[in-house]
Amino acid sequence: MISTFSLVLVIITGISGIFWGIKQLCTIIYNHNQQKKIFLKKSNDIYQQSKNTYSLAISYCSKTSEFISSLFPILLLVLIIRSFIFEPFRIPSGSMMPTLLIGDFILVKKFVYGIKNPVTQKTLINTGHPKRGDVIVFKYPKNPTLNYIKRVIGEPGDKVIYNIITKQLTIYPDHINNIKYIQPLPITYNNISPSNFIQIFNSDANGKVNSAFIKTKSQENNLNGIRLIQTTESFNGMEHNILTMIPPGDQNLIKIYDQHTKHLISEWLVPTNEYFVMGDNRDNSADSRYWGFVPERNIVGKAIIIWMNIKKQEGTWPISIQMNRIGKIQ
C-alpha cells in the first residue's frame, strides 16, 4: 500500500535537497577561492585558472536553483511533521455526527500508533495500538486511496454484537481462541433526547434518494425530515455522543420485534491485527457492519483535535467559519 502523495512529497524534497547541496558546495568553493585570491594574485596565470574554476562552479547556482534550494528546509520540515507527527484532514460527510460535523478540520496524531515509512506505510517503530473509543483515520480497506474516520468499537479478539432495533452494543473483550467471557464490557446509554440535527430526504431527476443534515434548535419542528435522537454512550471509561433515528433500548420496539430478534442482531469476532469501527451517526454510517474490519496497517493515526470549522452543507459552498467548534475530540 503506497501513499502517492507522500511519495511525491519525498521526491520533491529529495530534488530540492540536491539543489540545496549544490548551493552549499558553491558557497564552499566561493569562500575557498576568496581566500586563495590573496596568494594567487602574484601569478596571473594561476589566478585566472582559479577564477575560471570558480565561474564554472558558480554557474550551477542560477536563480532557479537558488529558489529550489531555498525550499528544501521548508519541505523537509513539512515532510517530517506530516509523515511522523501530525497531519490535517477535513470531514466531508456526516457519518461521525455529532462528534464531528461536515466542514470540521481535524488534526491527526500519527506517532501514537507507531512510526511508519511515509511511502509504504510499513511500521518502523511500534509505539502503541488503538483502544476502544479512539477516533481513528484509516485507509479504506476496499480502496486505500480514500481516508475514512470512525470510532474503534472492537479490538482484536473482541466479540461485537449490535442490535439494529435497540441500537445497542454488546462487547465481549478478548474473545479469541474460543475463550468465552461470561460478562460483557459494561456499556451504558444515558441522556437520551432529541438532537439539534434533522435528516431530510430528497430525490434527483433519476429517482435516486439522497439525504442531508440540517442543524436546528431541538424545539423546532420540521415535517420534511426526521429529527435524530442524541444519546451518551459510555464504555472503557469514556463518554461520547451518538445519533440514531430511534431512542436506544426503546422498550416498545423491543416488544414488537422480540419474535424476530435473532434476525435483527449481528455479531462479529474481530480477527488478530484488525479492528471493528463504527460511525457515531449510527444509522448513517458505512462502516465495519457493512464492509468488514480495518487492518492495523491501514491506520493513519488518532484524531485528537478540531482546529477549525468551515460551515457548509453537503453539496453546497461554505457559508462561514465557526470558531466554537475548536476543541478536543471526545
Select which of 150, 159, 167, 302 is catalytic.
150
Grid cell listed for 170: 454488546
Distance CA 311, CA 26 (A): 50
φ, ψ of residue 84 in degrees (nearest 5): -120, -15
Distance CA 254, CA 2 (A): 47
User: Annotated catalytic, 95?
Assistant: yes
The CB-side HSE value for 158 (13 A sphere, CA atoms) comes to 23
Query: Residue 97 class from Cβ within 10 Å (0-12 exposed, 13-18 middle, 19+ buried)?
Result: buried
Helix (H, G, I), strand (E, B) or coil at 252: helix
User: Annotated catalytic, 262?
Assistant: no
Q: Are 132 and 234 in contact (CB under 8 A)?
A: no
Distance CA 24, CA 28 (A): 6
Select which of 6, 65, 83, 95 is catalytic.
95
Q: Are 268 and 172 in contact (CB under 8 A)?
A: no
Grid cell listed for 251: 422498550
Picking from 247, 290, 234, 230, the residue whose alpha carbon sits closest to that of residue 266 is: 290
List active site positions: 95, 150
